[in-house]
Structure 1
């Protein structure tokens, strides 16, 4: 009996890595190409060339997030018109676009502040543009991209009414490939403890930083694993 249990334990150890590897994740090279597609087609830029904050999310067939897929106008988000997207998110009275496989947002002018693009897409958590997008395809590939990292004081603050944490918790329950991606660090958060703050995202969905069409980084941070240095502001020496 003890020998049988020993063999069973060994079999479990051999099988466990395979179970771990079976979890579907985005291909990181394909992810870089997808984010570059966003930047080429939807990025907000002032007339003077200054890049502005925006966010976009997709829910597409999962093969479009797997190895060797190359997004192009004729095979990716074909139902979305890039000019319509840019016009919608640039209009700060609404700043929101909701399409078939894509949602996007700029910043919306309120009386005393601007509503951030992440909050526009992810709130209210149970009935947001992201909720409706995810409901359209239950087991596809869902990617959320924000040009600047979510702000600590609002988006990642559990006490803020505009925080995105409940929405991320809901997204975690969605089947399929998932990725939360940012490019730059929000300028007011450079000196804050982003190691701890970003772990709030990783608790629900995998976090990535994509800096070019050829380079994305998996931020890691699950459990006791630290956030990868590429996903944190450089330390001053």
Structure 2
């Protein structure tokens, strides 16, 4: 069992069970493994603009062998062209259609067969929007359905860009971005949220968005204010 500090170790057992079941302590995510997996999956999908995907990946799978379980890129594109949604035995991919891409993926997570040996990757190019998706006061938020991820023992929410420049609205502030991540973290565990991208002058990398489990210290990479790139793909930043 993973005890974050002495106080947590002294908590009643029932409280510890709840925290751990919510993903509050996820020290098992190997950043190097996750970085290689996300890099390959997003390159393979080759989708421009906002999209979201969920994929089940065997926990012991080497990134070098990921290609053996990835679906055909053209099949994915054909389905997205027809109805903005692709579903297979291992992958769900959605683009923006009648609903946000993240919502379409989360609503269909039950279509992925559960295997206790699998890791669930939930990826969205833009981070969940602060004013709707992660807003507890908006009835269109994803704070309820994102709990569907917890059907898996090991999982991660990964985004590439903080959604800070919504079209037709004032820019999102770092305070809003921080609060949005905290709301998501309250549902799936702070330790399960990552930003994976290519920082300027560096290589593609994944960063944990929270440096602690109480949500106080948010990594600056995860609340970076970015310029609008609504049609950009993963390689643009």
In the superposition, the TM-score normalised over structure 1's length comes to 0.71
Q: How many angstroms apart in 1 are the aligned matches of 2:215 and 2:137?
A: 24
Residue 97, structure 1, aligned to residue 86, structure 2: yes
> How many angstroms does 1:139 deviate by?
4.3
In the other structure, the counterpart of 2:205 is: 215
RMSD: 2.7
Question: Which structure 1 segments of 5+ residues have no match?
Answer: 1-8, 14-19, 46-51, 123-127
Residue 201, structure 1, aligned to residue 184, structure 2: yes
Structure of larger gyration radius: 1
- Aligned with residue 105 of structure 2, among 90, 112, 121: 121
- Aligned with residue 222 of structure 2, among 202, 213, 231: 231
Query: Residues 224 and 231 from structure 1, CA distance in 2 versus in 1: closer, same or farther, beyond 3 angstroms?
Result: closer
In the other structure, the counterpart of 2:45 is: 42
- Aligned with residue 69 of structure 1, among 63, 69, 87: 63
Query: Residues 218 and 99 from structure 1, CA distance in 2 versus in 1: closer, same or farther, beyond 3 angstroms?
Result: same
In the other structure, the counterpart of 1:151 is: 129
Residues 37, 71 of structure 1: 8 Å contact kept: no
1:50-109 deviation per Cα after TM superposition (whole angstroms, max 9, x unaligned): xx1001111121113xxx633542x332xx211111222244xx200101111110011x
1:201-227 deviation per Cα after TM superposition (whole angstroms, max 9, x unaligned): 222141000003631101115214321
How many pairs does the alignment contain? Answer: 192
> How many angstroms does 1:146 deviate by?
0.3
**Relative CO higher for 1 or 2, CA cutoff 8 Å, sep ≥ 6?**
2
In the other structure, the counterpart of 1:130 is: 109
1:9-34 deviation per Cα after TM superposition (whole angstroms, max 9, x unaligned): 9xx89xxxxxx9x9562211121112
Q: How many angstroms apart in 1 are the aligned matches of 2:27 and 2:64?
A: 19
Q: How many angstroms apart in 2 are the aligned matches of 1:136 and 1:175?
A: 7
Q: How many angstroms apart in 2 are the aligned matches of 1:231 and 1:185?
A: 6
